[in-house]
Amino acid sequence: MIWNEKAECMSENDKETLQLERLQMAVKRAYESVPYYKKRFDELGVKPEDIKTLKDIEKLPFTTKDDLRDAYPFGMFAVPRKEIVEVHTSSGTTGKPTVSGYTRGDLEIWGEVMARGLCMFGVTDDDIIQNTHGYGLFTGGFGVHYGAQKMGATVIPISTGQTKRQIEIMQDFGTSVMIFTPSYGLYLAEEIEEEGIDTKTIGLKAIGFGAEMWTEEMRQEIQKRFNAPAYNIYGLTEVIGPGVGLECGERDGLHISEDHFYPEIIDSETHDVLPDGEKGELVLTTLTREGTPLIRFRTKDVTKLTRGKCGCGRTLVKMDRVTGRTDDMMKIRGVSVFPSQIEKALLRIDEVEPHYQIIVTRPHLMDEVEVQVEASESLFSDEIKELVGIREKIEDYIHSEIGLRVKVTLVEPKTLPRSEGKAVRVIDKREL
Amino acid sequence: MKVKQLSIFLENRKGRMRKALDVLEKGDVNIRALSIADTSDFGILRLIVPEPDKTKKLLEDNNFIVKIGEVIAVRMQDQPGGLGKILGILDDNDINLEYLYAFVEEKENGAIVLLHPEDIDGGIKALQNGGAEVIPAKDIYGL
């Protein structure tokens, strides 16, 4: 099923024509209505009229999270505040949060792109969606909610937490679709099994997950535990929220709704635009946003783009699932390390539950990494030398994955913090 | 003749052992014998208790990882050379010992050593042939 065949299966020509037309309008609107953009364009000596082809987008300046912070709270609004009907913000853990303002039209777009995704997951208006994403300033909850409403499915806006209640409702209401972050999904599966309920009897049809990074092994684990296919959701508050990119039945990449968002991949050091197929930082331009239009927003998410007709029939460009963030990336003794690499190594040891935490310190000028891994019944042995052997095996696997020696510590089960939202995988204690 | 022993995974961290002991206290479990093997970041707590299977479940319900293994209990004289004699038997029979721990028995004026050889059946046979007093499991649980 395709939600909006006209938009999702456009020919490359039609798509480019539409994108150029919308880009020109978006740039003009940004320049004329947002003082920040006028200043940046003028500094670079570019005018909206300079956009004659899609490639001309490269003449425009980038927008960063810092720029949005400087405009806090309403400096990026392109319409009078009166026309903004909803606001969302980023978490603000690294400073002032960034504010995204939505007009009625923006909410319409949000629901539309998210409904396209739910349709890709095989969801229909007959489904019951249990949405465990948080409702609030965080966009996760509302994005899924608007998509589900647009489609006409039944939404249970349960939000995050209250795990016992989640399980009860899954059973009593006959939930057919779950939306969760991968780490919360694993936690939920664990709790369900603890209660002696067979997850397969819940009869899920599909799982949608996003909001944090995961590995293919983690997806397999979740699919196995719930006996249902899991689909990736990508989005970010600054751009619109969840719904920017969504996975179809092929499950090998996320379709970006290119009629609303224009993606580019850049080298985050040189800022050069990279060709399709090359990995780099995703940069997004909103083509239709009215409240807070963004020109070339640097997402810091690492991915690559693939074009061509997909097996599902859509022609929308596909992005790989995000394998790292340019700022989540740890530089350990000068080597780039992503938490996902450590996770991959851990999953090579069958017995290890995928609960772990990475602690980075710098005791004497040299970076040290400790990976705390929860021990499980099957890997525990009465022999010290066997336990040491398992620990060394994990260390070796991590070494072959990232090229660095780390210290692995086995910790008691259920002692690492379980997330009810995003997992805290890395604790960086270095003063960088 | 084999005595069931509980092995519990513990992080080498303040308060961890106490937590395990608290669980046993609440479950009214009296420890017959105990030993700890430790490394810099984790340890194994080994216990002999009257009802090993029930105690294992109790600990697991409290999120501990527990394994049941087997050891041999041997009575020895509580005097210099007592332990050496027993180890001598195993040595003479070429049986490797993984670990041992011992405690003094008040009532009998003797001492008991708990042995964990690589080959447990061979160990029992050798000890019995060598004249050592191997104590039946029920006697240890009921001490």
Among A239, A303, A294, smallest CA distance to A266 is for A303
Alpha-carbon gap, residue A7 to A3, rounded angstroms: 9
Helix pair A216-226, A182-194: axis angle to 10 deg: 30
Sign, Cα dihedral of A300, A304, A307, A312: negative
CA distance A300 to chain B (A): 37
Q: What are phi and psi of A227, to 5 degrees?
A: 55, 45
User: How do residues B48-84 score in pLDDT, each as one tens digit?
Assistant: 999 999 999 999 999 899 999 999 999 988 888 888 9
DSSP one-letter string for A68-109: HHHTTTTTT-SS-GGG--EEEE---TTSSPPEEEE-HHHHHH
Interchain CB distance below 8 Å, A412 and B16: yes
Chain A residue numbers touching B41 (CB-CB < 8 A): 409-410
Ramachandran angles phi, psi of A388, nearest 5°: -65, -40
Q: How many helices (H) and strands (E) does chain B have?
A: 5, 7
Q: Check A415 against B64: CB less than 8 A apart.
A: no
d(CA B45, CA B19): 12
Q: Which residue of A has its CA nearest to B118?
A: A383
Judging contacts by C-beta atoms under 8 Å, the chain A residues touching residue B3 are none
List of chain A residues whose C-beta atoms are within 8 Å of the C-beta of residue B69: 382
CA distance linking residue A177 with residue A330, whole number of Å: 35
Of all residues in chain B, the one with the smallest CA distance to A409 is: B41
- CA-based nearest residue in chain B for residue A387: B42
Q: What is the DSSP letter of A197?
A: -
Q: Does residue A337 contact residue A330 with C-beta atoms inside 8 Å?
A: yes
Predicted local distance difference test score (pLDDT) of residue A92: 57
DSSP annotation string for A397-412: HHHHHHSS--EEEEE-
Sheet of A280-286, strand order: A261-266, A280-286, A297-303, A324-325
Q: Which residues of B touch A412 (CB under 8 A)?
A: 9-11, 16, 63-65
d(CA A3, CA A258): 15
The size of chain B, in residues, is 143
Contact A412 B98 (CB under 8 A): no
| Residues pairing with B45 in the sheet | B8, B36
Model pLDDT for residues A62-112, shown as the tens digit of each residue: 999 889 999 999 999 999 999 999 999 986 545 578 999 999 999 999 999
- Nearest CB among A387, A410, A414 relative to B63 is that of A414
Query: Could you report how far apart the first and last alpha carbons of chain B are, in Å?
Result: 15
Residue A375, CA distances (Å) to A136, A379, A383, B59 in order: 36, 7, 14, 15
DSSP string, A212-242: S---HHHHHHHHHHHTS-EEEEEEETTTTEE
Whole-structure pTM value: 0.68
ipTM of the complex in this document: 0.80
How big is the A-B interface in CB pairs under 8 Å? 44
CB nearest to B65's CB, from A377, A384, A388: A377
By residue count, chain A amounts to 432
Residues of A with CB under 8 A from a CB of B: 375-377, 380-384, 387-388, 409-415
Q: Which pair of structure tokens corresponds to residue A424?
A: 């805290």
Which of B7, B11, B39 lies nearest to residue A382, judging by beta carbons?
B7
- Asked whether the beta carbons of residue B39 and residue A384 sit closer than 8 angstroms, the reply is yes
**pLDDT in single tens digits along all 432 residues of chain A:** 899 999 999 999 999 999 999 999 999 999 999 999 999 999 999 999 999 999 999 999 999 988 999 999 999 999 999 999 999 998 654 557 899 999 999 999 999 999 999 999 999 999 999 999 989 998 989 999 999 999 999 999 999 888 899 999 999 999 999 999 887 888 888 889 889 998 878 889 999 987 666 777 778 889 999 999 999 999 999 999 999 999 999 999 999 999 999 999 999 889 999 999 999 999 999 999 999 999 999 998 889 999 999 999 999 999 998 877 776 677 777 666 778 788 888 888 866 666 889 998 888 667 889 999 888 887 788 888 888 898 999 999 999 888 888 999 998 888 887 765 556 788 888 765
Chain-centre distance for alpha carbon A24: 28
Contact B9 A384 (CB under 8 A): no
DSSP single-letter state for residue A304: -
